[in-house]
Amino acid sequence: MIGSLRRKLVAVGFATLTFGAGCRGDNSLAEVEGTVRVNGRPLANIVVEFLPDPGQGTKGPRSTGVTDEAGHYRLRCDDQREGAVIGWHRVVLEDAMLDRPEQGASVKNTARVAQRYTTAARTPLRREVKPGRQVIDLELSTP
C-alpha cells in the first residue's frame, strides 16, 4: 500500500515538473480545503483533483491534494502555490491505496471511490471556487 501511494506521489511530482509552468500565469487563485466523506465517514489517502472547467469559462492549471487520516485535504496548484483557480471545476477523485493494473489487466473492484468520480468526463462533482479562503467538503455516495 505504501509503495502504491509513493508511486502516485512520484507521478504528481512529475506532473508538477511537466505542467508547473502553467500555474505561473495571471490565473487568480483562492485557498481551498475540505473533507472527503463517504456515507458520513472520512476517507484517507484519496487524491483530490480540481480541474478547471473550460465549458464554464474557467481556464488554468489543475490543483490537487491528498486526504489525511481525517479525510481532510488542502489544494495546491501544480507549482505548489496554495489554492485553485477561481471559477468552476470538475472534481476527480482517486483512491491512492489502489494499485493500478497493467495495461490489459482486469481491475479488481475494491475501490473506496465509485468509478463515476474518477474521470473528468463522468464525475458528477462540480464545484465553484470563489475568491478568498473557503471550505469545500465532498460527500460521496457508496461505490
Read off the pLDDT of residues 71-119 as tens digits, 9 standing for 90 and up: 999 999 988 899 999 999 999 999 988 766 555 555 554 678 899 999 9
Terminal CA-CA length for the chain: 20
- pLDDT for the residue numbered 101: 57
Categorize the per-residue pLDDT at 20 as very low, low, confident or very high, splitting at 50, 70 and 90: very low
Report the SS3 class of residue 76.
strand
DSSP structural state of residue 55? G
CATH number of 2-140: 2.60.40.1120
CA 126 to chain centre: 12
- pLDDT for the residue numbered 2: 55
Indicate the pairing of strand 126-129 with strand 76-77. unpaired
- pLDDT for the residue numbered 15: 44
- pLDDT for the residue numbered 16: 42
Rounded to the nearest 5 percent, the helix, strand and coil shares of the chain are 20, 35, 45
Rounded to whole angstroms, the Cα distance separating 127 from 130 reads 10
Rounded to whole angstroms, the Cα distance separating 74 from 12 reads 15
Rounded to whole angstroms, the Cα distance separating 32 from 41 reads 20
